[in-house]
Amino acid sequence: MTAPQRFLLNTPKRYQLAPQMRDYDGVRVNWVSYLMFMQTCGFRSKAVNIDERGLRHSPMTAADGPVRLLVGGSAAFGVGASSDSKTISSLLEQRSGIRWLNFGGRAYNSTQELIFYQLLGFELERVDRIVLFSGVNDAYLPHLMSADHPEVQVMFFGSDYIRAMTAMKNLDWRGHIKRMVFQRWVDGDVNKMSLFEAFRQALLSKRKEGEDDIDPAEAQASALAHLRRNLGVWKALTGSRSIKLAYVLQPAFSWTGKPKTPEEEAIFTELNTVPGVLSVLEILDGLYEGFTKGAESICQELGIDYLDLNPLIKCSPRANEWLFVDRVHLTDAGNDLVATLLLENGIA
């Protein structure tokens, strides 16, 4: 396997305050059947290590006994943690004395989280609890792009699937950002352009003709419909094996309403200069109320435990701590607080 090509944003303040983010920015994305993509298997660095199956390394501190899984996207994976021992799953293991495995997949939606478990976790023995730590990607992605087929959940890289599968073996984060942010405004293949050139053309052009704006109500309905389908499958799978299941809505900075620390202020201000970030925030900030109410209703209907961490973080005496390394990923302190809340609320 070739060495990972780094996607380095021009964010020196972010790297100064959170140097581990250089390691995360160096993790590549590889195409994988059924899942679409997976973080690079066998990746090694000081902050993050990935085994040959694509799972984040989880230090073993618990004795033999039951096994529990933390399933989700990049926040569950632990983007932002300074080491493998500071992820949510590792902290839960250290505190509970029960073995926890990290089944987080970077940039995954709930469909991919489910497939990831089916491929790598379904045959695990002695699993007695699964916590789905998710929500942001499900809520946000349908507002960013339309699915070619309504039955297929919108996912990162989805619109480039055929081209990427035939023309590329690896897709790095730089190419991903250019496609997500610029492709609809520029002519030609943004993968062949520099980031600067894609940004320049986007500023000088208008949205492509015939590309309608996405209806927010339809996007939210699609997000919740896919979530309900996936949670229904989760309920059937876990129920047949007597595994306790819980859905936890992950925190996002604007959803928590917590005050900014100087570190968060500095990082967010710097990230705001990255093309496309402000438009993303404008969409994400308005999705919280509808999504949490919809997700809670689905969980009640299916008999799945539901926990929304956002109000709990806002009310926590630790809300004034530096918890976010960006607006959706957590610092070590943020992961520590989440682990505490999951244990205190009987979820973990």
Q: What is the dihedral of CA 339, 315, 332, 265, to 10 degrees?
A: 160
pLDDT (0 to 100) of residue 197: 62
List all residues 6 or more positions away from 187 whose beta carbon is below 8 Å from its beta carbon. 201, 205
Reported as a single tens digit per residue, the pLDDT across 143-202 is 877 766 777 777 776 666 656 555 655 555 556 655 655 555 566 665 666 655 665 665
pLDDT (0 to 100) of residue 199: 59
pLDDT (0 to 100) of residue 343: 98
Q: CB of 51 within 8 A of CB of 42?
A: yes
What six digits make up the tokens of 307? 């926990």
pLDDT (0 to 100) of residue 7: 40
For the whole prediction, is pTM greater than 0.75? Answer: yes
Half-sphere exposure of 181 (CA within 13 A, CB side): 23
Q: What are phi and psi of 78, to 5 degrees?
A: 110, 25
Reported as a single tens digit per residue, the pLDDT across 10-37 is 689 999 999 999 999 989 888 888 888 8
Q: CB of 304 within 8 A of CB of 55?
A: no
pLDDT along the chain (348 residues), means of 10: 40 94 90 87 96 93 89 97 98 96 96 96 94 96 76 71 57 58 60 61 51 80 96 97 97 97 96 80 90 98 98 98 97 98 97
Q: What are phi and psi of 273, to 5 degrees?
A: -85, -10
Dist CA 54 CA 105 (whole Å): 8
Q: How far apart are the first and last CA of the chain?
A: 36
Determine the angle formed by the axes of helices 136-144 and 277-285, rounding to 10 degrees: 110
Note every long-range contact of 144-149, with CB atoms under 8 Å and residues 24 or more positions apart, other chains counting.
Answer: 144/180, 144/214, 144/280, 144/283, 145/214, 146/214, 147/222
